[in-house]
A and B are shown apart, each in its own frame.
Chain A
Amino acid sequence: MAEHYFQKEIETAPYEKIREIQSEKLVHQVRRVYDNVPYYRKKMEEKGVTPDDIKSVDDLHKLPFLSKADLRDAYPYGLLGAPLKDCVRIHSTSGTTGKRVVAFYTQHDIDLWDDCAARAICAAGGTPDDVCQIAYGFGLFTGGAGLNGGSHKVGCLTVPISSGNTERQIMFIRDLNATILCCTPSYAEYLAESMKEMGLSPDDIPLKAGIFGAEAWSEEMRADIEKTLGIKAYDIYGLTELSGPGVSFECCEQNGMHVNEDHFIAEIIDPDTEEVLPDGTWGELVFTAVDKEAFPMIRYRTRDVCMLSREKCSCGRTFVKMAKPKGRTDDMLIIRGVNVFPSQIETVLINEGYAANYLLVVDRVNNTDTLDVQVEMTPEMFTDNIGEVEARQKKLENGLKNMLGIKAHVSLVAPKTIERSEGKAKRVIDNRKI
């Protein structure tokens, strides 16, 4: 089997070697941030920490956290770590949670990001022989630019098609023999659905791999996409705050994402006590970017609920693996006191044979929370027999209750009425007035 590495030496380096690199970069980074970012210096002073206290990765826990609130307070230039004249680009989040983040990049930052994305493409089997179709949005969103840069570094023939225009997407995939597709998983699902409607079978589709990220998706959704498109689907993770897609990525094992540890140190903390938790424990994922210049995040709280594992991986990479995040601490809905993640609902829907396209409507009636799951009726699920349709609806409600631990009502809606997303899917409407 061919070796799928972009930078083998570092990707397979012994753990001690990686720690050494991290320590060296961290010491330097903390000093630089302390000197150049008054906002973070103030935080360090409040905590009584100086750059001299940071001698290696072991001292990381002494440093203060940064959160989304800090990013908002410091908007736009407050966390800038390099002179503006050295910055060459910005990217920005979609602001779906109402807090738009603007991140800055020097050329050095772009280069290291491209390397990270290139590692992800290689891990998915990408080589210069591949045609890589980038159907992530281009523009302020990091998805398009990140994979585009990575694809160039690998030497793939890059198709920067951006998102949308499904017919054109399918035409390019078929006419140019695209072998790798990069987009959000919900868009991949939509493309798969469209190709199926056109009567195309996996044999008619030249794709062999997909790199999907920027939103939560379940194993069931992966199986569905892999089957319909006849590909292997790989997860990729990233945050605009840290650069973009490529902070971590899946290898052939497809059971967790290797963190690019020479650039990012991952920690798991208890979101309430802020204490660092051991590997194998679920908690909030925290990242420190050790060599980014323009936007040097130190102990940035991602709000992703995640777990780290250092078990030996058959792919040969030594980078720590992070689990697929269970959800976001801010995606998480609290309904009748129970934590509900949209990804759990998706799992049930796919298991019961429905599309992963759904809308959750949360409301409060007579001081009790209600959860309505709107699901599209499918030709396979429809029959003239009302009792049978109701029984299927009931089965789905029971499945949801088993998974979530609370009762949910299922509303069957007409096909194509739930908005398809070309970027991040909006799946929750919370009407509660608290």
Chain B
Amino acid sequence: MSNITLTIDNVQVVVPKGATVLEAARRAHVRIPTLCFLKDLNEIGACRMCVVDAGGRTLQPACVLEAGEGMVVRTNTPQVREARKVILELILSNHDKKCLSCIRSQNCELQKLSLELGVESGDEFEGLRNEYQVDDLSPSIVRDNNKCILCRRCVSACYKTQAVGVIGPVKRGFNTTIASPWDLPLNSMACIACGQCIAACPVGALHEKEEAPLVWDLLADPSKHVVVQTAPAVRAALGEEFGLPMGTNVVGKLAAALRRLGFDRVFDTDFGADLTIMEESNELIERIKGGGVLPMITSCSPGWVNYCETYFPDFIPNLSSCKSPHEMTGAMIKSYYAQKKGLKPEDIAVVSVMPCTAKKFEADREELAAVNGLPDVDAVVTTRELARMIKQAGIDFLKLPDESFDELLGESTGAATIFGATGGVMEAALRTAYETITGQTLDKLDFEAVRGVQGVKEATVQIGDLSLHVAVANGTANAKELLEEVRRGEKEYHFIEVMGCPGGCVTGGGQPIVTAWDRLGVDPRVERAKALYMADKQTALRKSHDNPEVRRAYEDFLGDIGGHKAHELLHTHYTAKPKYKQ
């Protein structure tokens, strides 16, 4: 590929042909403000924040302006500064500027630009302001259009990344909003609750439905025995909320913080992940041997399960009947742990810390109530919510010692840890399936072919006489493409892993938000996954069936893998859902 040389603010930069001026400026260490821009996802030049003087008749938006040979770009002239400020003030004139109580305060791209660009009062252009009702009826996602700046990043995430498209621009001109058809609330749309719209939002117009208040109440209730569990991906990202570099594994401090928040027991969803692998690999082997429905598709990701039930109901028989790891752990807490501790299941509350907003929806599912009709999980908070709780409690996170999870449901293997990254469930299942089928020890545990952030990955794994064809998809748009190929008979697999979010849980809708500017230089999917794969590499136990606490749970309580009790507690069923609910 040929290169282009251009000058940005008197600095010569060389970029590959096709690069934008914005990208070139980054290489010249010049920060150009952006709002609607989100790398690879929303490059539409709509908000005009990034205007530069490229020698043309008018200022041009750097995010969609291709770098040209010999181009001379100036990003810091009085005209450019004034134009950006006016654009920003116009946006602010129709923005609900309640920054003090805004969930995105200090992590808001609009707030940051207002400071950087020297906005004076924020009320330069007084006039009409649109007022909207906040939509908080979904169990997962809250939409507050009073904060919306119409950048369309959420719309792109919903359409392009997830192939869902339940929100879009409605009406025109000053009346334009981002909304669902007929202004219906999200919970009456076929929204899969993945929260990728939240991850894309530069401001506070989208956030998770908070359950932290409920968790505070539970913790203050002396009649409740409150047990917490935390998903693999949380440890790979929580540190970012406290200023640690992306990809720092904070598992020890995480356990310590949960204990200091007052939870009675601190368990690890990784235990549930190992349990999932025991049940799921067994289910796979049974389906292959017994002529069951193939390909079997994983069911750990609730965003994906929602997508399948709504958009691919013909694949419901393919979904593994296994509950997701935190639901399994929840059911085990209210049965196995309750029995061991002599507690009544009714007195136990299970709180899950998840990288995910769809887990909130999942926890509300009526069919996920294994013990006495009690929900397996009582409350779900996101990684971001946990960070806020830790801050509210005044816990100095960075000074915490490294602690371990509590015994009984706290032990886990490397196979469980990598559940948080795309391909991780597949790899964990392959490790166990291989040894179960062949009876031999697997020498090379790393299945490189299923790792990485490509949308769809394929591999063929030789297990004894069996050539096992597998595929891994992340992001439901990629899953859609893959399943359409399977449906047309163009591809045949035994086993497919789908994670609803691109990159898997590490970049789930409940994870710390990475600004558009940071995303230019670093890929959170890659950095956070590294933390998990490193943890896997460094641990002695790397296969789910080697987890001593899981073995003990089967011996003392569950009985056979895939047996009656396991089915009662650890498996579920799915229902086709209409695309249009009204």
A binds B: no
